[in-house]
């Protein structure tokens, strides 16, 4: 990748921002709409100076075009020209890729590298619970159904350890929550287990903890 000396963010008319010829990524435009409605337009697009086309930001530009088409209010951080009414979008300018193949490779990497990361599930649950209680999950890409699925996944990991190659015949426990307070305390305990035991799953860490407790 080559760079022009002055890399900067400028505001361009929405109708002058052109997408890449080959963008194989499907975007959840509905979720992008929700995010923009809550947080505004927070991340500039990236243009390849060699072609004048985007290499990052295709989902956001599609969502913006839909909003303008349906005469919605411009999101925060999108400027509106006083005379023409045209939306002005922040774009990173000054970056030039040496050829089309490099630009396409970056476009793929920009989307794929995010997908390769994982989540600390217990910490994520804590953050989502806090958001749900204090404000809302709107615009985060998560909803109540996602949170419930995480609860179920964690509960499913708590067993006798036989499916993980652990010794069978040790005491096993079925965890039943009577209320949300008990459930919250359980997930705090799960977080503590992760900090203090080396098992790959909740079930393995719980098994190790129970063995230590029973051995005292």
The pLDDT tens digits along the chain (216 residues) read 555 558 999 999 999 999 999 999 999 999 999 999 999 999 999 999 999 999 999 999 999 999 999 999 999 999 999 999 999 999 999 999 999 999 999 999 999 998 898 888 888 998 999 999 899 999 999 998 898 888 888 777 655 444 444 444 444 455 666 777 777 777 778 778 877 888 777 778 888 888 888 875
Number of domains in the chain: 2
Task: Read off the DSSP letter of residue 18.
Answer: B
Shared domain for 170 and 89, answered yes or no, is no
Which structural domain, as residue segments, surrounds residue 189?
A: 121-215
- The residue written with tokens 């089309």 in the block is 100
Whole-number pLDDT of residue 197: 86
pTM above 0.85, yes or no: no
Shared domain for 107 and 35, answered yes or no, is yes
Shared domain for 52 and 73, answered yes or no, is yes
Shared domain for 168 and 131, answered yes or no, is yes
Shared domain for 100 and 128, answered yes or no, is no
Shared domain for 81 and 136, answered yes or no, is no
Q: Which residues pair with 95 in a beta bridge?
A: 3, 48
Q: 120: burial class by Cβ within 10 Å (0-12, 13-18, 19+)?
A: exposed
Q: Could you say which of 116, 150, 185 is where a domain stops?
A: 116
Q: Could you say which of 95, 116, 137 is where a domain stops?
A: 116
Shared domain for 38 and 7, answered yes or no, is yes
Shared domain for 134 and 36, answered yes or no, is no
Q: Could you say which of 85, 116, 147 is where a domain stops?
A: 116
Dihedral sign, CA of 88, 92, 95, 100? negative
Q: 47: burial class by Cβ within 10 Å (0-12, 13-18, 19+)?
A: buried
């Amino acid at each position: 990748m080559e760079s022009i000396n002055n890399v900067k963010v400028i505001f361009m008319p929405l109708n002058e921002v052109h997408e890449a010829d080959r963008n194989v990524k499907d975007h959840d435009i509905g979720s992008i709409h929700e995010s923009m409605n809550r947080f505004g337009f927070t991340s500039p697009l990236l243009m390849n100076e060699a072609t004048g086309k985007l290499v990052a930001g295709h989902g956001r530009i599609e969502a913006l075009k839909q909003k303008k088409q349906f005469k919605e209010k411009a999101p925060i951080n999108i400027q509106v020209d006083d005379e023409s009414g045209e939306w002005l979008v922040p774009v990173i300018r000054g970056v030039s890729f040496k050829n089309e193949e490099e630009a396409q490779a970056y476009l793929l990497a920009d989307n794929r590298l995010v997908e390769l990361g994982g989540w600390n599930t217990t910490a994520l649950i804590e953050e989502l619970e806090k958001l749900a209680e204090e404000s809302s999950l709107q615009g985060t890409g998560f909803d109540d159904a996602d949170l419930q699925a995480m609860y179920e996944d964690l509960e499913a990991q708590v067993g006798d350890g036989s499916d993980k190659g652990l010794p069978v015949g040790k005491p096993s426990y079925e965890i039943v929550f009577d209320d949300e307070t008990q459930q919250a305390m359980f997930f705090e305990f799960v977080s503590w287990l992760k900090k203090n035991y080396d098992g790959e799953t909740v079930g393995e860490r719980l098994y190790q903890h129970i063995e230590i407790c029973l051995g005292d």
